[in-house]
């Protein structure tokens, strides 16, 4: 087993489930593990709590001076496990399976392998090379937001799985809750009961109709805008009119769409529900919302990654967008250009999550070449 494969397996065994999603232990143990790895490489380490017991970690390989700084970025948290063996890595046919293999501990294994190669070369970059691990990407991205307040870089690479493609733009999203309030009463008392669940019917119909309209619009290069009902929770028992029902809704945004537009769409759907039945008492709440990412393909960091990938792959990589939102959006909003590049992987958030190990090694080589180019001349 290679050093890279061993490191990735050790990372996967650490349960860093986001506590906001599945009541997991959080990112603390994994952040501490990365901090120790960074210190062994001679990096300066900053480990600080963003939320109680949930730290970000940044390691800096200090440059000689006079070059640009580059941040290699990833998120520490994973979604909930599918079973008791989810964090036990398994290797088959060149793929490593397990929770967090693709999403996205492979990125940290690649980033630290790149740093190790630079350190072992005895050469020193002109600019600083940073490796940052942030909490909470799978929920509210509290870690990325805190990172931009504490650390800066001239550019960044988000090391998420992209299939060795270069991703320079991506979609956004808005998560909503719609609370429908009825009147609780016995099921045999229709004169007093108001069905908080049934009154959501026009809202559900409005969501379906809006998605049909979105599907008819010209899509972005990486996908179309969409909306769907995600969760629903209401009522306590069968023989009772439900006093409350809460509907979860996800609106996926693409270039040219905005969070404000999504909020206006939902407000219009609720207004139509009130017009359909005066008993509808509904409240709209925005839980989390992120704008789509659009940045110039001429950003120097994009060119650096494309050139480095071409050198390793033997051909020019695909440059594209992606429908999925990433922490790169918050970095760009903070004025730090960010491109996404990473290994071949599949099955994120499922029981069949895997990453191609050879592509993790390729990613490490691309990151090292990118750092050499972007951060400036290397010298002993």
The angle formed by the CA atoms of residues 326, 323 and 269, to the nearest 5 degrees, is: 105
For the chain, give every domain's residue range.
3-170+293-374, 172-290
Strands 155-158 and 70-75: parallel
Supply 296's token pair: 């110039």
- Of 208-217, 344-353, 369-378, the poorest mean pLDDT is in 369-378
- Burial level of 380, CB count in 10 A (0-12/13-18/19+)? exposed
Q: Mean of the per-residue pLDDT values for the chain?
A: 96
Read off the pLDDT of residues 213-224 as tens digits, 9 standing for 90 and up.
999 999 999 999
Q: What H or E segment, with its residue span, contains residue 114? A: helix 106-121
pLDDT exceeds 80 at position 22: no
Report the distance separating Cα 370 and Cα 193, nearest Å: 65
Could you tell me which of 77, 69, 73, 70 has the C-alpha nearest to residue 51? 77
pLDDT exceeds 90 at position 70: yes
The pLDDT, as a whole number, for residue 23 is 85
Please, which pLDDT band fits residue 183 given cuts at 50, 70 and 90?
Answer: very high
Could you tell me which of 55, 72, 60, 20 has the C-alpha nearest to residue 134? 55
The secondary structure of 22-70 as a DSSP string is H----SHHHHHHHHHHHHHTT-EEEEEEEETTEEEEEEEE---SSS--E
The pLDDT, as a whole number, for residue 172 is 97
The angle formed by the CA atoms of residues 51, 55 and 57, to the nearest 5 degrees, is: 145
Please, which pLDDT band fits residue 378 given cuts at 50, 70 and 90?
Answer: low
Read off the pLDDT of residues 135-179 as tens digits, 9 standing for 90 and up.
999 999 999 999 999 999 999 999 999 999 999 999 999 999 999
The pLDDT, as a whole number, for residue 380 is 62
Report the distance separating Cα 72 and Cα 130, nearest Å: 6
Report the distance separating Cα 133 and Cα 147, nearest Å: 9
Rounded mean pLDDT, 102-122? 97
The pLDDT, as a whole number, for residue 297 is 80
Rounded mean pLDDT, 324-351? 96
The pLDDT, as a whole number, for residue 379 is 65
Asked if 312 and 161 count as a contact pair (C-beta separation under 8 A), the reply is: no
Please, which pLDDT band fits residue 377 given cuts at 50, 70 and 90?
Answer: confident
Q: How many CB atoms lie within 10 A of CB 334?
A: 15
Supply φ then ψ for residue 110, to 5 degrees: -70, -45
CATH architecture group of domain 3-170+293-374: 3-Layer(aba) Sandwich (3.40)
Alpha carbons within 13 A on the beta-carbon side of 338: 26
Going from the C-alpha of 261 to that of each of 246, 279, 336, the distances in angstroms are 22, 27, 26
Helices (H), 153-230: 201-215
Please, what CATH class does the domain formed by 172-290 belong to?
Answer: alpha beta
Q: pTM for the complete prediction?
A: 0.92
């Amino acid at each position: 087993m290679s050093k890279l494969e061993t490191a990735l397996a050790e990372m996967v065994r650490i349960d860093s489930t986001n506590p906001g999603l599945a009541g997991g232990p959080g990112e603390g143990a994994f952040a501490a593990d990365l901090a120790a790895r960074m210190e062994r490489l001679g990096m300066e380490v900053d480990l600080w709590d963003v939320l109680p017991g949930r730290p970000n970690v940044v390691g800096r390989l200090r440059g000689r001076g006079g070059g640009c700084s580059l941040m290699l970025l990833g998120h520490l948290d994973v979604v909930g496990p599918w079973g008791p063996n989810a964090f036990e890595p398994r290797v088959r046919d060149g793929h490593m399976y397990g929770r967090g293999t693709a999403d996205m501990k492979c990125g940290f294994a690649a980033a630290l392998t790149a740093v190790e190669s630079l350190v072992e070369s005895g050469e020193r970059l002109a600019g600083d090379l940073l490796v940052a691990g942030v909490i909470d990407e799978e929920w509210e991205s509290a870690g990325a937001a805190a990172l931009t307040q504490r650390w800066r870089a001239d550019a960044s690479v988000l090391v998420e799985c992209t299939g060795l493609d270069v991703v320079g733009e991506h979609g956004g999203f808005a998560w909503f809750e719609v609370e429908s309030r009825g009147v609780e009463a016995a099921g045999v008392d229709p004169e007093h009961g108001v069905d908080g669940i049934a009154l959501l019917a026009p809202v559900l119909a409005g969501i379906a109709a809006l998605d049909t309209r979105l599907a008819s619009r010209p899509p972005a290069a990486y996908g179309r805008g969409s909306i769907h009902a995600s969760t629903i929770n209401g009522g306590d028992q069968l023989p009772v009119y439900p006093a409350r029902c809460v509907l979860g809704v996800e609106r996926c945004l693409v270039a040219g769409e905005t969070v404000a537009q999504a909020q206006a769409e939902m407000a219009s759907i609720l207004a139509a529900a009130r017009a359909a039945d005066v008993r509808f008492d509904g409240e709209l709440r925005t839980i989390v919302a992120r704008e789509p990412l659009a940045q110039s393909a001429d950003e120097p960091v994009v060119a650096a990654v494309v050139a480095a990938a071409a050198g390793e792959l033997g051909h020019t990589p695909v440059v594209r967008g992606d429908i999925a939102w990433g922490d790169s959006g918050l970095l760009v909003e903070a004025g730090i250009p960010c491109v996404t590049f990473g290994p071949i992987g599949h099955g994120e958030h499922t029981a069949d999550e895997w990453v191609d190990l050879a592509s993790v090694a390729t990613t490490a080589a691309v990151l090292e070449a990118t750092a050499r180019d972007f951060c400036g001349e290397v010298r002993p």
